[in-house]
Amino acid sequence: MGGLTQRFQEWMSGNPDDAVLRFVFRGLLAVSIGALGFDLASANGWISPEADDTVPAVQREAPEGLPSLPSILSPWLPGRDRLAPLPQPDGALGKPMTFDLVGGNRLLASGTITPGTATAFAAAIERHGEYIKTVVLNSPGGSVGDALAMGRLIRERKLATAVEAGKYCASSCPLVFFGGVERRAGDKAAIGVHQVFAAKSADATPVSRDGMSDAQRISARCQRYLGEMGIDLQVWIHAMETPKDRLFVFKPDELTKFNIVTSQPSIVSKP
C-alpha cells in the first residue's frame, strides 16, 4: 500500500493539472469497461434467473422462506394478501400429472401438467369408458396448451370437475377445471390464476424476440376458451393483472359470482 502511495505522489509531482486529468480519465475508462462487461453478460444470458422475466416460476430456485402449500389455501382470511405467493410444488404435485380411478365414478388427476399430459389424459378417458363422471383436480398447473385440450375433452364428454377440500388448482389448472359441465369446489379449496408467459425451452435457450407475441396469442386463446366455457371474463382480467410468481386466489363468493363453480364450495369434501 505504501509503494502505491509513493508512486501516486511521484506521478502527481511532475504536472499536477495534467496528472489530475489523467487520473480522472483513467477512472472513467475503468467504469466504462465495467459497464460494458455487465451489458455483455446480460446479452449472453449470464444474469441470474431471478432477473430474467422469461424464466417460469417453476424453473427458478425457490426464494428462501417461500411458504408451503397449506399457507395459501385461505388467502381470503382477514389480514391476508389477496395475491398469494406461488407455491413450490413438491412430492407428487411436482411430478408429471397421473390419473387414478377413485370411488364414485371419479378420475383423480394429480400433479404438474407437462407437454403430453393431454394425450395421457385422453388415453385414460378412453380406457375407462363410461365409468368416469367427474375429474378431480389437484395441480399447480403447467402447460397451457395441454390444459386447454384437457378442458375441451372434458366438455365434449360432458364430465364434471371438482377440487376437493383443502386441495388446490392453480395457474393453468383452472383451464381444465372450467371444462366441467358441473364444477364443484370443497371447503377452502384454492383456485388461483396468474399471467401466462413465454418460458425458456428445456435446454435453457432464451425465448425468441417473438416471445411477447406468443404470450399474447396464448392469452387470446385462453380468453376465447373462457367465453366458450361460460366463465365470466373478469376471471381473465384478474389473471392478466397478477404477476407470474403470484396467484390471485378467488374468494368463495367470487367462485359463484364469476361462474367458476356451479355448486356451493361446501358440498365437496375429502374422501
Predicted local distance difference test score (pLDDT) of residue 245: 86
How many percent of the chain have pLDDT more than 90? 49
Residue 84: name the closest of 98, 97, 69, 105 by CA. 69
Quick one: which of 112, 183, 184 has its CA closest to 144? Answer: 112
Is the per-residue pLDDT at 159 higher than 70?
Answer: yes
> Which region, left, alpha or beta, applies to residue 79 given φ > 0 means left and ψ of -120 to 50 means alpha?
left
State mean pLDDT over 151-178.
96
Residue ranges covered by each domain of the chain: 2-41, 86-267
Does residue 127 register a pLDDT over 60? yes
Residue 126 makes CB contacts below 8 A (sequence gap 6+) with none
Is the pLDDT at 76 greater than 90? The verdict is no
pLDDT of 96 > 90? The answer is yes
Name, in order, each residue with C-beta under 8 angstroms of 145's C-beta and a sequence gap of 6 or more: 115, 118, 218
- Whether the per-residue pLDDT at 171 is higher than 90: the answer is yes
Torsion sign (Cα): 147, 153, 155, 159: negative
Average pLDDT over residues 60-81: 39
Q: Which pTM was predicted?
A: 0.67
pLDDT at site 6 = 52
Question: Which of the given ranges, 9-23, 55-69, 138-152, 214-228, has the highest pLDDT on average?
Answer: 138-152
**For position 183, what pLDDT does the model report?**
98
For the segment(s) 86-267, the CATH number from 3.10.20.600, 3.30.70.2740, 3.90.226.10, 3.90.550.60 is 3.90.226.10
Nearest-angstrom CA–CA distance, 10 and 250: 72
pLDDT, position 61: 30
CA 252 from centroid of its chain's CA atoms: 22
Reported confidence tier of residue 256, pLDDT bands at 50, 70, 90? very high
CA-CA distance, 197 to 140, in Å (whole number)?
Answer: 15
What is the per-residue pLDDT for 64? 30
